[in-house]
Amino acid sequence: MAIRNALISLTDRHGLIPLAKALAKNGVRIFATDGTARFLESKGIACRTIQSVTRFPQILGGRVKTLHPAVFGGLLARAEDGAALKSLKFPRFDILVCNFYDFSGARGMDDGRMAEHIDIGGVSLVRAAAKNIQCVLPLVLPSQYDEFARRLSSGRLDDVDYRKRLAATAWGVVAQYDLDIFSACLDRLKVHAPRWNIQVSEEALPLRYGENPHQSASFFRPVDAVGLPFEVLQGKQLSYCNLLDVHAAFTFGKDSPRQPFCAILKHTNPCGAATGRTIAEAFRRAFNGDPQSAFGGIVLLNRPVDRSTAREITERFFEIIIAPKFDASSRKILECKKSLRLLQMRLTGNSLRHPPSDVRSALGGFLIQGADEGVAQPSRWKRMAGSSPSRAVLSDLDLAQRIAKHVKSNAIVLVRQGQAIGIGAGQQSRVDSVRIAIDKARRYDHTIHGSVCASDGFFPFSDSVEHLARTGVSAIVEPGGSVRDADVIAAAKKSRISLFFTGRRHFRH
């Protein structure tokens, strides 16, 4: 297939310049809408405006640019329509590069402003190109540009499966865009309306297996998402459980403190977490919090991995290391662990564009809830008992609540001097979680006296506070809200423990 003319109309121009240069190098004429044309010309790439085809200016403040017979004739013309195009003096477009107005931020706008974020021309262009896939190649995602450029250079654009894949992706992107608008419109109805969970997803990553080796598994993402939120730098293929742990680590990473911080997770639960003066020290302190449970864990670091951190990692067995970056010296050291997976976080751009929500399968359907975002800031807590603690104790309490948020309920976390020294997770009784946290701290010779405690939910009885007081815990932070809050407050006052209520629960069921 000869590529002679390309039509480009983009809101998101990420990755466009290498693609446009590949087109120009192969003698393809570029036609573009005004904004895209100005962008290309500013980069020294020659192109023609869409008005050179339509002979008509854009109207209504830019609402109508491409809705013209010359444009859609060039996209919808079949192979046998060459004579008709020639008589009309319309160019045939062989490739369309297009994406839509960003609608993701329009939900909070009033109706009029939201309407201006609804793309009409771009969606129509993509539908036309996808309908005429035998003659036109629609590129609707930046992730498609590299493969197209390679195929253009090697002359492999006639591959039927490739064309079908482009068409299917184009229809999927259009469908998701329309569904986003539909969902936003439903949200605005003041009368009773059906609630829909609507999303077009595609397989983004095949996985080794599911929770068990006999179960198959894949990772799906919205069809218009741009890439994965991480890059796998080395190691074995990820499994279903690995990806659940990675998700848990990523969400924990959003709540990590500003200091160098490390968390080690097992079965989506933190088993160690700590701050440090350096990322290597944070890793060491997190590991020493519960070295037995850390075996085979997932390591999350909020700073780039350097040489000293990499050396400490290689002395122990882990499944995955997640960090914003791995420097060259650390990569060289970690290469010896062939099976160890290194994941470089990528949480910018459109990789996590869609509004966050938690989705679980249940009873043949789905349970959906908004994501549990953020934590209550210490300045908003209410002190219910005890004296005002030092800044260091408040910092420990804040860290403890951030960790507790990511521990399965019932969750109890003990922290001392920026290090989690005991974590009780997933017990049917909260006081049992208290006992487990205390036992873990004692097992690894941590000093409990002067430590602080965070609970993800309220204490239903005073017994947990009494247990904590006997071990020397100096301060507690919890949501409050129990019918027996008065008993809990009285126990804290009696034990001279500083007790804070956050007013915000963080159950992980």
Instruction: Say which CATH number the domain at 477 has.
Output: 3.40.140.20
**246 and 291 co-located in one domain:** yes
Q: Are 18 and 130 within one domain? A: yes
> 72, 124 in Cβ contact below 8 A?
yes
Residues 45 and 178 in one domain: yes
Residues 99 and 157 placed together within one structural domain of the fold: yes
The closest alpha carbon to 227, from 325, 133, 145, belongs to 145
User: Rounded CA gap, 177 and 298, in Å?
Assistant: 35
pLDDT of residue 19: 92
What residue numbers bound the domain in which 443 lies? 378-501
pLDDT of residue 320: 95
Asked whether residue 35 falls in the same domain as residue 154, the answer is yes
Question: Last residue of a domain, which of 135, 156, 188?
Answer: 188
* In a domain? residue 492: yes
Domain count, the chain: 3
Residue with tokens 């050396």: 311
Q: Which of 21, 236, 254, 267 is catalytic?
A: 267
Q: Same domain for 159 and 297?
A: no
Residue located via tokens 């301060």: 475
Supply the pTM of this predicted model: 0.69
- Does the active-site annotation cover 267? yes
Asked if 428 and 325 sit in the same domain, the reply is: no
Burial label for 418, CB within 10 Å (0-12, 13-18, 19+), is buried
Residue 429 CB: number of other CB atoms within 10 A? 13
Q: What pLDDT shows up at residue 157? A: 87
Assigned domain for 215 exists = no
- End of a domain among 345, 369, 390? 345
Closest to 429 measured CA to CA, from 404, 389, 459, 400: 459
Options 14, 21, 131, 337, the catalytic residue: 131
| Strand 261-266 relative to strand 297-301, pairing | antiparallel
Q: What pLDDT sits at residue 348?
A: 45
Q: Count CB neighbours of 463 within 10 A.
A: 16
Alpha-carbon span 328 to 342, nearest angstrom: 13
Active-site residue flag, 68: no
Whether residues 166 and 236 fall in one domain:
no
**CA–CA gap between residue 456 and residue 433 (Å, rounded):** 11
CA distances from 23 to 16, 108, 133, 199, 432 (A): 10, 39, 19, 33, 66
| Segments in the chain below pLDDT 50 | 347-354
d(CA 353, CA 99): 15
